[in-house]
Chains A and B, each alone.
Chain A
Amino acid sequence: MIKAEQKPFEEILEYLAPYNKILLSGCGACVTVCHAGGEKEGALLASALRMARQKTGKPLEILESTPARQCEPEFAQELSDTIGRVQAVLSVSCGVGVQTLARHFPATQIFPGVNTLFMGETVEHGVWEERCQACGDCILEKTAGICPIARCAKQLLNGPCGGSANGKCEIKRETDCAWQLIYDRSKSLGQLHRLTEIIPAKQWGVQSRDSGPRRIVREDLKV
């Protein structure tokens, strides 16, 4: 799922400064799971913002709402009535949700409340790690289910660099070397022979973000 973390409090206060009534919109999907912008974190942020503004003598009224998925137009539309009653929206969903609101409510200022960081996995309570960079051409079948694009600092496709030592990355010593993980898992699965296959360089300009925003069209689903 998408992982995010709340923006610095001062930054949020700064761009809400001109307003005295806003909607704080959470999202019931990814940002709820990573405790950045679900109903609970949204309520905490709203409470903190109200108190901070009260202290300055310029109270801020905050309405709160958490659609099931802010990135889906049907759920975003549920906010129509509430958005009509506020001066601006603070969205604590990922960047997709913010843009969905911006598209559907062109007359309303929408501010992001979180920084969207990566697509990742919960490795333990309160710890999330990046696992996918949406490169557009998955090679996990060749790398024992461990992605060298997302997990190798140098995105190497055919084995580790010279900086791998004791199973750790030279860029971040606390991080496992992705290619050590790939080798160990391939060996335990009896699949080491797969690593002899050369993985060609990725065509970043074709399938990835390098050629601009990507789009999926399914004609059969259009209505």
Chain B
Amino acid sequence: MSTFEPKIVAFCCEQSGLPAAEMAKTLKLKIPDNLELVPVPCSGRIETLYLLKALESGADGVVVFACYEENCRYLQGNVRLKGRVGYAKQIMAKIGLEQERLEIFHVATNSGVKFSEFLMQKADQLRLLGPNLGKIA
């Protein structure tokens, strides 16, 4: 039986993803064991390099919990994120990394249940994909 537990790095916007994570914790909802939360003041703060570095440094999957579009406190942050994630995926395609290893998920402050459900599904998906062969552990 496989013991592979995928490592997930979750960048969380402090305006949405982080409160959702805190709600999931308060409600004692299930979250994957091997999860690293990275709070950011706005998802627009995330550079393409951060996403690749996370994969290079050991993540099997990277998720960005961002505000819904047109609901960014800083107006365009999550739109900029979308472009950067798209660019990162182009680079991943060149490397030969599966696109499922990187995803944006839009949440609101009260999305604790969605936060938990999405991460559990993502962990299942990554278990099926197997380890990220590009990571340098």
Give the interface of B toward A (CB within 8 A). Answer: 47-49, 52-53, 55-56, 91, 94-97, 133-136
Give the distance in Å from the alpha carbon of A47 to the alpha carbon of B97 in the complex. 13
| Chain B residues positioned under 8 Å from A47 (CB to CB) | 49, 52-53, 56
CB-CB under 8 A from A43, the residues of chain B are 49
Interface residues as binary, A5-49 with B (CB distance below 8 Å gives 1, 0 otherwise): 000011000000000000000000000000000001001100110
A52 within 8 A of B: yes
Chain A's nearest CB lies how many Å from the CB of B4?
Answer: 17
Is A107 among interface residues, defined by CB-CB distance under 8 A? no
Kindly state whether residue A159 has any CB partner on chain B within 8 Å: no
Contact A9 B94 (CB under 8 A): yes
CB of A54 within 8 Å of the partner chain: yes
- Quick one: which of A9, A40, A44, A54 contacts B134, CB cutoff 8 A? A54
- Tell me the bound Cα distance from A44 to B90 in angstroms: 12
* Chain A positions within 8 Å of B134 at CB level: 50-52, 54-55
B100 CB, min distance to chain A CBs, angstroms: 16
**Contact of A59 with B136 in the complex, beta carbons under 8 Å:** yes
Q: How far is the CB of A217 from chain B (nearest CB, A)?
A: 42
A54 touches B49 (CB 8 A): no
Decide if the interface of chain A is mainly helix, strand, loop or mixed: helix
Q: Which residue of A lies closest to B137 (CB)?
A: A54
A-B contact pairs, 13 of them (CB 8 A): A9-B95, A40-B49, A44-B52, A47-B49, A47-B56, A51-B97, A51-B135, A52-B95, A52-B134, A54-B134, A54-B136, A55-B133, A59-B136
Contact between B94 and A48, CB atoms less than 8 A apart: yes
> Whole-angstrom distance between the alpha carbons of A55 and B97 in the complex?
9
The distance from the CB of A61 to the nearest CB of chain B, in whole angstroms, is: 10
Name which residue of chain B comes closest to A12, CB basis.
B94
**Least CB separation from B95: chain A residue:** A52
Q: Which residues of A contact B95 (CB under 8 A)?
A: 9, 48, 51-52, 55
Whether A55 contacts B96 in the complex (CB less than 8 A), given A44-B49, A44-B52, comes out as yes
Q: Are B136 and A51 in contact (CB under 8 A)?
A: yes
Which residues from B are CB-within-8-Å of A9?
91, 94-95
